[in-house]
Amino acid sequence: MKTLQVSLGDRSYPIYIGPGLLCKTDLFKPHVAGQSIYVVSNTTVAPLYSKKLIQTISRDAKSVHEIILPDGESYKDWATLQKIFDVMLSKGADRKSVIIALGGGVIGDMAGFAAASFMRGIRFIQVPTTLLAQVDSSVGGKTGINHPLGKNMIGAFHQPVAVIADLDTLKTLPPRELSAGLAEVVKHGAIADATFFDWIESHTKELLGCDPNAMSHAVERSCEIKSAVVAADEKESGIRAILNYGHTFGHAIESGLGYGEWLHGEAVGCGMVMAADLSARLGHIPSSDVTRIQELVTALGLPNCAPKLGNQRFFELMQIDKKSEGGEIRYITLEKIGRAKIEMADHAIVSQTLSAYQAS
């Protein structure tokens, strides 16, 4: 087991990474002992892992309640969030109660937002079961739900007390979900570690085959990179925005198509190619780097061409993005592979990228 630390003063917390962690009583005990626990999962993950987790925590918890939500990005909304509150209030949850998010990014975001909101904030534990959640969404305290006009526009920063990433849960991931998670792995290399990016390029076969050693390294290095960025800028007032590389274009794709049509990682994969193209058009990177990113995204089974939404619609959707300021869209571009920056870009240049990467 590997242990990392997200250093945020009195809000610091550990990230545990390794196989078999769902059965590690000692990892959960400090947070669940004597408390009422609410395990939030979905209809896909709960049948696989909920029983195992509940067995692990039941010996120490005062009580354990299971909340099973429908699966999918399209359910990341107010109505589904309300189901969490309904159960907690009906069961007498209080300020010492603890929520455990057992699932992927949607469950982590929703359970985290419920924890941030319930009685103005209670503790929660992230137990991510998808690659995307393990390498990205479970770390950093971003929680929230979608709005029809924009992804993740309603939420709060609320750090977990621990992230427990059991690598064994990746064995049950469908290939499409695995590829989607690898998009966020690529992102971390592209924005912060050229050597890691090189390693991903040379280990695509192992990653797609869910090789244990390759997965362990991918999750650990991604969490190291994200933890360092979050520690430097917890609430995204500056440098943390680089973690959104590929997301400005990607979120527009998700919103424009309708949530759940493309997986988040698929939209980010395509968005990274588009952001690389924009970086080249702005004179930051050579076209050969765009080709490298596009070829890697393609090799990992991710789309490299956006659906035809139209340039105007893309701009409308990107202006609603959380990174926009005063109606001006901020883009995450690459100065080189391994270093990202935040900048505005000329509308005409962005239009060239949008025209080049939408399906005809």
The residues annotated as belonging to the active site are 120, 142, 184, 226, 236, 240, 244, 247, 251, 264
Residue 130 assigned as binding residue: yes
| CA 15/CA 17 separation, integer angstroms | 6
Residue 64 assigned as binding residue: no
Q: How many residues does the chain have?
A: 360
Residue 195 assigned as binding residue: no
Residue 235 assigned as binding residue: no
Residue 129 assigned as binding residue: yes
| CA 79/CA 50 separation, integer angstroms | 23
Running DSSP on this structure, what letter comes out for residue 71? Answer: P
Residue 234 assigned as binding residue: no
Q: How do strand 13-18 and strand 162-166 relate by DSSP bridges?
A: parallel
Residue 74 assigned as binding residue: yes
Question: Comparing C-alpha atoms, which of 215, 193, 197 is closest to residue 205?
Answer: 215
Residue 171 assigned as binding residue: yes
3-state helix, strand, coil in the chain (%, to 5): 55, 20, 25
Question: Comparing C-alpha atoms, which of 204, 171, 213 is closest to residue 186?
Answer: 204
Question: Comparing C-alpha atoms, which of 24, 48, 188 is closest to residue 107?
Answer: 48
| CA 135/CA 125 separation, integer angstroms | 15
Residue 268 assigned as binding residue: no
Residue 142 assigned as binding residue: yes
Residue 75 assigned as binding residue: yes
Residue 109 assigned as binding residue: yes
| CA 46/CA 67 separation, integer angstroms | 9
Both tokens of 173, joined, read: 């991931």
Residue 247 assigned as binding residue: yes
CA end-to-end span of the chain, whole Å?
Answer: 48
Going by the annotation, the residues of the binding site for Zn(2+) are 184, 247, 264
Annotated binding site: 71-76, 105-109, 129-130, 142, 151, 169-172, 184, 247, 264
Binding-site entries for NAD(+): 71-76, 105-109, 129-130, 142, 151, 169-172
